[in-house]
Structures are given as structure tokens and as C-alpha cells.
Amino acid sequence: MEKAYTKTAEQVIKDLKTDLKDGLTSAQAQKRLAQYGPNVLKEEIGKNPLLILFSQFRSFLVIILIVASIISYLLGHSLDALMILAIVAINAVLGFIQEYRAEESIKHLKKLVTANVQVIRDGRLVEIPHFQLVPGDLVIVSDGQKVPADLRVTQSIYLHLNEAPLTGESIPVTKVTDSLPPNTNIADQKNMLFAGTSVSSGKGMGIVVSTAMKTEIGQIAHLVSQEVEPETPLKQKLDRLGKLLGRIVLIVASLIALEQIILGEPVIEALISSVALAVAAIPEGLPAIVTISLALGTKRLLKQRALIRNLPASETLGSTEVICVDKTGTLTEGEMSVREIYGANIQKILTVGILSSNARKNKDRIIGDATEAALIQKAIDSGLDQDQLDKKFPRVQEIPFSSDRKMMTTICKEDNQYRVTSKGATEVILDKCSHIEENGQVIPLTEEKKEQILKVNDQMAQDALRILAFAEKRIHLAGEENAVTPARWKEEEIEKDLIFLGLQGMMDPPREGVKEAIEVCQRKAGIKVIMITGDHLLTAQSIAKEIGIKGESISGQELDNLSEEEFVKKVQEINIYARVSPTHKIRIIKALKARGHQVAMTGDGVNDAPALKAADTGVAMGVTGTDVAKDASDIILLDDNFTTIVQAIKEGRTIFDNIRKFVNYLLSSNIMEIMVISLAVILGGGHLPLLPIHLLWINLVTDGLPALALGVDPPRADIMSLPPQNFRQQILGGRSLGPLTAVSVLLTIAILAIFFIYQKDPIYEQTMVFTSIVFYEMLRIIAIRSEYKLPFFSNKFLILAIAGSLALHLVILYLPFSFAGVTLQELFKVQPLNLFDWVLLLGIGIFLLFIMRILVITPVFNFLKKP
């Protein structure tokens, strides 16, 4: 039923052909179940494990590697083919394990609804499974229950709903039975109960008006299914890099094969050389190293309470320019607390707060209305004991709160008298008071005093505090011959001539450390933080001011009045959004992306799910987050804390830096290997300076271990002071492309010089070229890290990797190990080097290191770093 909130309960009953006393008949219910279907949401089908596995092979670079392994096998190089496939398999397994584990940790959508519900059918109260509910059913709800469908309220007995999962508003909503005007915002539809929300206190009854996908939650679930999850920037960058490398490899390898055939080499030998060159050109370890680097980053993030659902998401967050943050539970604690007290006798105000509340402390938590829980917690924190007060002042009667009265009164026994305590809206309480307590004295409450109190109330309201006023009086019975018993007291008699005590202002407070985290984002990291909430605009503005979010603010209704074109122009200036709906959030995300921003979105409610999926990075709350929000997210914060996002951004930036380092390292080395082989073939009459087994050893062992160690490099000191654009550039390109090319040329010249010096002895010559490449690539790592101002000993794994690579190479050259009668020297076709050879290699290496460091850190060479 559309807009049931605009109709009276009687109209809804008539339209749905039900009965307020007897409900539907079993026959009616059965017929409607067949018509409307079961009350269940259509689940988004989870990722099939096989699809997760196959997705690991979609990278263009991985496809090239598989093709290269097939060609190697067909040409008789089974070992090369096997090693390449082993690397591809390792990459796939690592990616699969991470994504499968994350997928298994997410709850399914069906857990949003309750298992059984109480309904009136055939004039009797019965309990049925939630999926059998149909429009027209009369449902009974009570404290702690989750609402199973969208209901129009027909009865409310102090009924309060927690609607934060749907609307984002932290304060429980008091439910009424009256009809409401058309176009009332969903957060203000106080005569409706929505599926997925829960009863915080009280009880009531409602008519089912929508079930399954027709409910508000169902419509949001549909929005989620319609949103296409964007491809991560890292995947886009790696795919572009893979395609570029693929084209280069095909062109260069073809030219080398053609050249050797022209020079008289047999066709098979020419093909072998071209495959060797392809192996040299393609960084076989790159996909695996990227995956391992991301996996290690996710492991570090997990220790910081962030669960990564898919590997590239951690790097994507590092290049984020805008974070749209859901206020309730992320920037704030997600629960009310007393922020300010006004009055002469604070201890008495806190005591009345306990006596006039129904919430109760139970072990480590307070059960009941969130507002009353805040009053009791403040009183307990101030040293009061609720149990002792209950014993000292036993309650004998209560005049409950209602939306019409806007106050609550309790009557407690106190020795030979009764103590009346009241709390409620300031204007209402003041109208009931005739006196005020000041400095231990009870004096008449003048109009001047009332105006003073109302001014304080207004000031607290401007600070977005929810304010309650407190008053009390005593009724003496001793000596009264015609004393009236409490059961016969009338409301108007009890709630008059009260003594005004003071005010308490409450708010859902900001989380500890949030202000500092936002400052890091905005002032240092260049990341814009936008607050989005279902709360009122005044509340949003107050919290924003307190935590340091500046800029224009706008409500959902004002947003509706802007055209798409107007909003895209204005979105840059707006930092605070209040009273927004799920569709508003998607509009915000898409408008920001239309301006070229990379956007992260945080949220915990069902209403956040579509925007979480639409954002470049969706971040869900692990504690308060709904299953739908988690399903739609890329990252889950296990502590619901915004400061964890800042740590995740830092980790993401570190991952990107490390990926760029080892891509730079691998490609500068591989380009050098291509140029060495190509030029040596041309200048040396078709003679190869390296054998295929040398290239495989360099790519798998010498390149692999140090590149992997770069994946755990610590962050540079200034990483959170750099603009996001630094982490949005291509992995290969921009500032790094010029120095990379220059270094590759420099290394090529040095190694070709060694090639020609030792050309008289082919085996010794190949040994020297092989060794110089291994040695100088280790120096290349040191030079690359100097650009990031990282001390050499800051990464012990890298030191071990470099030492390990050099040690393994020395084993090949000098140790007389043998396999099946073949020594390592014979297998690799190398000879031991003498002291003069090492002195020559070391001397050239020191010169190369000096020049390489100049190329990456000296301003004179900035022309090489321009995009």
C-alpha cells in the first residue's frame, strides 16, 4: 500500500479488508500469500567459489604469462613453462584464499528479519513464521523485537523504535496513530513501523501494509542490486600496464626473431631467442607480488580492526580524495549521553533523572529508552546508585509519557510523605511549576526567571542538544484527616505547583580521536570529509562544528529542489548533509564522481547499502552494521571507528607506494634486459649474451625475492601529508617514467661494455653479464628506495632478500653441488669469477649507484620526471 502514513488507521483497515479485532481469516491469509508471495527479501547471490577462483585469471598480464608458458612448452622448454605456470598458480591461490575467507565472514541478507511473529488471525493471537505475513495482518510488537514488515501503527503504548539502520537517526522515535501529511520524510513517518528496525521500548500493534521487496528495506535492496560495483583503480592500472607490456613484448620479440632469421640463424633457434626475450620482458612475478603485497597489507589492516573483503580495496582507499561518512555510530558513539546540566542543585537533578525513568542498569549495560539510559549513566558516573535510590524511594504510581503530554511523572514513597518527580519538555515542565530551587532555597518562579530558563534552553538547542527539564515536589500526609490515596490522585492535581530544578542536555557525542583523524585527512592528507546523516540539520551542523568539518550544509528536502546539473556544480562546496534518504546518498556519490573525485563511503544501515556499492570504496561498520551494508561493502571496520579508516588510508597509500617501487624495479630491470639482449644480438652478430635459464633465474629468484620484500616496506614519513593525486597516477608513468628509462639505458650501457670486454670467451662472457645483472639490480633497489627517503636498514626483510639473492648466485658460481651427476655450473653454464672480475663489477656498480641516486633525487633532473 502506497503512502499508508497519510491515511487514518480506519481507512487502512478498510482498504486492506481486514478487521481491527479479529484480523484476517486463515482463508484470506492463504489467498494473499499466493498473491503477494512470501515475506522474504530476494538475496543477492553470493560469489561462487569457482567464480572467485576463475576471476584470478582475468588479468591481461596473467593471460600473457599463460600464453608464454604454452609457447615455452611447445618449444621444448618445459622447465620455463612449469615455473611460469607455478607463479600464475601461486597468484591465483593467494587471491582466492583472501576473497573466499572475506566472503565467508559476511552474514547473509535473510538474517535481517525475525524468525516468528505474533499476529491476530481468526480472532485469536497466534505465532507464525515471518515469511507467512501478508498485507492486512495485525501484528503485535514489543520491547526488543525486530519489525518483520512495514506496518501502519494502530496502537502505541509508549512505543519507541530504533530506526538508525534505516534512517541513520540515533534517537529512538516515538510512534503515534495519527495520520500525517503527504510527502512526509521517512524519518518523520511516526505512524509507521519499518521492516528491519527494532522496538527500543513499549509495545504496540500495526497493520501490515507492505511485505518482502515492497517494504522500504526491500526497495533499498533493489537499489543495491541495480548498482554496478565500479572496477577498482588498481585493477584498471594493472590492466593498462599489462596491455602496454603485451604490445611491447610482441613487437620486440617479433623483431628479434626476424633479425636472427635474416642473420642466418635457424628458425627454431630464432623462436627460442624470441621466447627468451619475452620471458625477460614480462615480469612474471608481478601479479603474484601485487597479490602478496595486498594480502600482507590486509593482514596488517586486520590487526588495526579493518577487514578487507577484496584485495584491491585497500590500495583504492589509499588514493581516495573524498570520504562520505555516516554520522551515527561512525563519527559519533551511536548512543546518547548527557553533555550539559543547568541548575543550582545538580545532585538533585540527577536523582530526579533516575527516579523519573524506567530504564534500568543490568550488569554492564542499561536497558530501556536511550534518552533515559543517558540520564541514568550520567547519574551513576556522578556517584549515585540506582538500586539504593529505588529502595529508598519505592515507586507507587506512574503517569506515563505521551506525545500529547510531553512529560512523565512518578510518585515515590519517602518516609511519611510522597515524592513527586517529573521530566519532560522545558515549556511543559515550566507551565507546571510555581517555584524554583536556588542556592538551597525554594522561591517563587517569576516570569523573569522563566524567560532566563528558556534562553538557556534555546542556547542548548542551538548546540543541537536534546533537552529535558526536571522538577519535583512533596506531598505530606501526616496529620491530614482527609488524605487522598495515590490511586485516587488526578494527573492535574499531582502535576501542578512543582518546583523547577534544572535542565539536562543530551547528544550522541563524537567518538574519541575523531576530531584529530579528520584533521589529518583534511589538513594534511588533502582528503575532503563529508558528513551524511538522517538526523536533523541543526544536530548535523553542531556535530560537524565540534569535530572540525566545515563548509555548506543542506537538507534532503533542499537537495530535492536542485536539478542534477545544479547539484553537480554545487557539490564541491557542501560538506554536511542532513535528513537524507538512500537515493540522496547515491546522488551525492555520483555527483562527486562526476567532478572526477575518487569517493569512499562509510555506513552501517540498510539505507547506506546502495551508496556503499556505488562508491569506489564502500566501508561498512562491523559492530552496528547491518548484513546488507556488509554485503555491499569492500571494507568492514571491526570497531566502527572513523580513526580506523585513517589508518586504512595510510596503509593503502603505503601499498600503492610499494607496488610502484617494485613495478619500477622490475620494469627498469626488464627493459634493461630487453635492450641488452637486442643490442647484443645486433652488435654481436646474433650471439645471445644470456641463456634462457639465466633469464628465468633472474626473473624468478633475483627479481622475485627483493620485489616481494619491497611489499612490506614501511611508509615514508610524510605519506599522510601528500595529496591524494600522488596515489591516483598510473603505476608506470608520470614522474617515474623519465628516471626509469634513463636508469635502464645507463645499466644497458654498463652491461654491454662488460659483454664486449669479455667477448673472447662466450661462457665467461655470459657469466659476467649474468652476474652483473644480478648485482646491479640489487643496487637499483637501493636507489629506488632513496626517492622515498627510507633508511636502508628500515626493512630487514629486504636486507635478507638482497643477501639471499646474492648468496644464491654465489652458490651457482662456486659451490660444487650436483644433481644427477650435473653440477650447478654445468646446469647454468657458468664459470667461477676471479678477484679482478669482482673489483671491476664493484667499481662500475658504485658509479652506477651514484648516478641512479642523482637521477631520482636531484632537482637538476626534474625534466626527466615530468609526465
For residues 498 and 343, the answer to whether their CB atoms sit within 8 Å is no
The strand pair at 360-362 and 365-367 is best described as antiparallel
Answer positive or negative: Cα dihedral of 675, 681, 684, 689: positive
Q: What is the 3-state secondary structure (H, E, C) of 420-458?
A: EEEEECHHHHHHHEEEEEECCEEEECCHHHHHHHHHHHH
Q: Count of residues for the chain?
A: 867
pLDDT at 101: 57
Tell me whether residue 476 is exposed, middle or buried, using C-beta atoms within 10 angstroms of its C-beta: 0 to 12, 13 to 18, 19 or more.
Answer: exposed
pLDDT at 112: 37
Please name the residue that has the C-alpha cell 580506523: 644
Residue type, 835: L
Please name the residue that has the C-alpha cell 503527504: 182
- The H-or-E segment that residue 167 falls in is helix 164-167
* Cα(158)–Cα(285) distance, integer angstroms: 65
Task: With a cut of 50, list the residues of the chain below it in pLDDT.
Answer: 102, 105-114, 478-484, 859-867
Which residues on neighbouring strands pair with residue 125, listed in sequence order? 120
Identify the CA nearest to 280 among candidates 735, 682, 744, 684. Answer: 744
Neighbours of 312 (CB within 10 A): 24
pTM > 0.85: no
Domains of the chain: 4-36+114-147+150-210 (2.70.150.10), 73-99+231-316+647-864 (1.20.1110.10), 337-507 (3.40.1110.10)
pLDDT at 65: 67
* Cα(304)–Cα(340) distance, integer angstroms: 33
pLDDT at 860: 42
pLDDT at 228: 54
pLDDT at 865: 46
Q: What is the 3-state secondary structure (H, E, C) of 230-294?
A: CCCHHHHHHHHHHHHHHHHHHHHHHHHHHHHHHCCCCHHHHHHHHHHHHHHHCCCCHHHHHHHHH
What is the grid cell recorded at 293?
603485497
Tell me if residue 468 falls in helix, strand or coil: strand
What are phi and psi for residue 526, nearest 5 degrees?
Answer: 70, 25
CA 290 to chain centre: 21
Please name the residue that has the C-alpha cell 646474492: 806
Tell me if residue 822 falls in helix, strand or coil: strand
Catalytic residues: 326
For residues 298 and 314, the answer to whether their CB atoms sit within 8 Å is yes
Tell me the Ramachandran region of residue 463: left when phi exceeds 0, alpha when psi lies from -120 to 50, beta otherwise: alpha
CA atoms within 13 A on the CB side of 838: 7
Tell me the Ramachandran region of residue 143: left when phi exceeds 0, alpha when psi lies from -120 to 50, beta otherwise: beta
CB-based contacts of 284: which residues, under 8 Å, 6+ apart?
Answer: 65, 83, 84, 87, 699, 700
DSSP 641: -
What is the grid cell recorded at 165?
539502520
Residue type, 661: K
C-alpha distances in Å from residue 570, one per residue of 512, 559, 563, 567, 575: 32, 10, 10, 5, 11
Identify the CA nearest to 245 among candidates 770, 758, 733, 816. Answer: 733
Identify the CA nearest to 211 among candidates 11, 457, 26, 37. Answer: 37
pLDDT at 91: 60
* Cα(60)–Cα(235) distance, integer angstroms: 10
